[in-house]
Structure 1
Amino acid sequence: MLPLITRDELRDGLETGTLVAVDTMPTAYYEKEHLPGAVNIPGFPYEQAAGSTDRHAPVVLPDRSADIVVYCANAPCRNSEFVGARLIELGYPNVRKYREGIEDWVAAGLPTVAAP
């Protein structure tokens, strides 16, 4: 299980640029709405999460020492757990999970963006 981060900690980290958010939703969902500055590593379907992470991580997360936060839709969504675990296996030591996901972020009235 990945260490967790709170919404407030995540918001502060995004505002100060001290962490990288990774949206683990399928690309179409990411393009529709994601946290400001988030990159995308699709973690669904689950059977393809490791391969997807292997392909995308070197491109979107070139700094293995970065503070990384993975998230998906909500607490029951497992995408972020699969992607986060694979990132750790690939040598990213600072990976946490925003368990409540983008649904919680939106419900709190925090901003999201769409892909251009």
Structure 2
Amino acid sequence: MNKKNLSEGAIIFFIAVSFALLTNLFRSDSLPLVQLKPASISFSTKNNQEPTVSFEVMKGKFKKSGIILIDVRSPEEFKKEHIPWAINIPYHEFSEKLPEVMKQISFSQEIIVYCGGIECSYAKNIAFLLNAKGYKDVKVYKGGWGEWTQKNMPLEKEGEGD
């Protein structure tokens, strides 16, 4: 392959990539150029234990005032059913909703975050981010939605007491 063919190939490649990027930019359903997968993040308290809440503790706390319960599942899942008094801050929308959240929740309030169940790392990741932003009392309900429903605990649908 000579230099002329190589440079022509590079030009064609550059034009094709540019065209693809511009087309994607102007599409109403454009695709993200980078898709980040959630990493499993760890944080701990002073005694090096991850701050989690068991089902028994959660059962006793879920009706207490002053506790903020955050459901990080999708809006569709949340509207269908959720733990009573929970607020929905979907994992994939958390960054854009964080400033609004910070206005409504004091840094000293107890916050419990949950998602779909024990295999779901979203709650842990959001708890880590809240902790990094200065919230001191953030815990993860590891059993999450799966355990809560399995134990036949009270459920709430969108519009019922929200």
TM-score for both structures, normalised by structure 1: 0.85
Q: Unaligned stretches of 5+ in structure 2? A: 1-41, 43-49
How far 1:101 moved relative to its partner?
0.7
Q: Which amino acid aligns with 1:4?
A: T
Aligned residue among 64, 84, 87 for 2:127? 84
1:6 has 2:54 as partner: yes
State how far apart, in whole Å, the 2-side matches of 1:76 and 1:56 are. 28
Given the alignment of the two structures, is residue 58 of structure 1 paired with residue 106 of structure 2, yes or no? no
Query: Which of the two has higher C-alpha Rg?
Result: 2
Identify the structure with bigger relative contact order (alpha carbons < 8 Å, sequence gap 6+).
1
Measured against aligned partners, the alpha-carbon deviations of 1:83-116 in whole angstroms (never above 9, x if no partner) come to 1111111111100001111110011010110111
User: Following superposition, which runs of at least 4 residues in structure 1 exceed 3 angstroms of deviation?
Assistant: none
Q: Shift of residue 56 of structure 1?
A: 4.4
Structure 1 counterpart of 2:153, from 101, 110, 113: 110
Q: Secondary structure at the match of 1:20?
A: strand
Q: What letter matches 1:77 in structure 2?
A: C
Q: Cα 1:40–1:22, aligned 2, differ >3 Å: closer, same or farther?
A: same
Q: 1:93 to 1:53 in 2, by over 3 A?
A: farther
CA distance in 2, matches of 1:69, 1:3: 10
Cα separation, partners in 2 of 1:52 and 1:34, compared to 1, 3 Å:
farther
Give the distance between the partners of 1:28 and 1:55, measured in 2 at CA.
22
TM-score by length of structure 2 reads 0.62
Inter-CA distance 52–33: structure 2 relative to 1 (3 Å threshold): farther
Q: Secondary structure at the match of 1:57?
A: helix
1:38-88 per-residue CA deviation (whole Å, 9 max, x = no partner) reads 0111113xxx54x145244225x4222111110000111111012111111
Q: Unaligned regions of 5+ residues in structure 1, if any?
A: none
